[in-house]
Copies of this chain bind each other. A is one copy, B any other.
Amino acid sequence: MVNAESLTRAEALAADIESMIHDRELGPGDLIGTMDEFRDQSGYGRATISEAARLLNDRGTVEIRPGRGGGLFVARPNVIVRLRHTLLTVRKMPATVADAIAVREALEPLIAVDAAQHRTKQDISDLRKLMTALKRATTSTDRFMRANWALHERIAEITHNHLAKAVYLSMTRCITDLSEHADPDDDSRTEDYLRFRVEVHAELVEAIIAGDVARTAAAVDRHHAPAQI
């Protein structure tokens, strides 16, 4: 029982349970014990045991099953839960919008190519609608931006890579949320420029609809070359 100082009882108990899993060489799906058992063994209160269980559940190491024969079981590993836990250790870092934009752009080819491979009839129909909306939105930078985000989000919805989708959508949400504050109408985006952006997106959407992977990749390249978004 490791139990260092400056750890809450729940955290200590969680650590103990984790080492128990290791010591007893338990695999996914195996029963570790019931909460009442841990309560008797540790002498802690109900809430403390419950907190430890919650911690381990959040970490993705344990699965809690109610009902008779229930209890704490070793969870089968889940990539997303692990990612959540890992991000917890870096949440204090000062991430900027620029960082988010960089990550988003890095994921763009993956998202677009996946979309070209998996698009359904419904996807195609939706993309056409969003594309015509984008064409009509060249009157104002603000409208154009919103239509643009909507299009990109819809493209991201297509992919079967749920992990990539989650990260990508998080990035776009962050960027929109954080940049709507500082927006002193950058008038360098003329109507001509917006029309050019529309063409770039039109080609991207057509490539996705055609299901042409190489063409989609090329369109993404063109999409990124001149400016952001």
Whether the Cβ atoms of B162 and A94 lie closer than 8 Å is: yes
**A95: interface (CB < 8 Å):** yes
User: Residue-by-residue, is A158-174 near B (CB-CB < 8 Å gives 1, otherwise 0)?
Assistant: 00011111110111011
- With the chains together, A110 CA to B97 CA distance in Å? 15
Whether the Cβ atoms of A77 and B162 lie closer than 8 Å is: no
User: Residue-by-residue, is A174-208 near B (CB-CB < 8 Å gives 1, otherwise 0)?
Assistant: 10011000000000000000000000000000000
CB distance from A183 to the nearest CB of B (A): 14
User: Residue-by-residue, is A78-90 near B (CB-CB < 8 Å gives 1, otherwise 0)?
Assistant: 1111111011111
Q: Which of A100, A109, A164, A167 has the most CB of B within 10 A?
A: A167
A93-B162, A163-B95 as given contacts; A80 in contact with B84, CB under 8 Å: no
- With the chains together, A107 CA to B103 CA distance in Å? 7
**Partner pick for A164 among B47, B102, B164, B169, CB 8 A cutoff:** B102
A84-B87, A107-B106, A173-B86 as given contacts; A162 in contact with B95, CB under 8 Å: yes
CB distance from A157 to the nearest CB of B (A): 12
Residues of B within 8 A of A162 (CB): 90, 93-95, 99
Whether the Cβ atoms of B100 and A166 lie closer than 8 Å is: no
- With the chains together, A87 CA to B100 CA distance in Å? 15
**A122: interface (CB < 8 Å):** no
User: Residue-by-residue, is A94-121 near B (CB-CB < 8 Å gives 1, otherwise 0)?
Assistant: 1111011011011101100000000000
**A22: interface (CB < 8 Å):** no
Residues of B within 8 A of A89 (CB): 166
Task: Tell me the A residues contacting B by CB distance below 8 Å.
Answer: 47, 77-84, 86-91, 93-97, 99-100, 102-103, 105-107, 109-110, 161-167, 169-171, 173-174, 177-178
Q: Known contacts A79-B174, A86-B166, A100-B163; can you find 5 more A-B pairs with CB under 8 A?
A: A82-B173, A83-B87, A86-B173, A99-B161, A107-B107
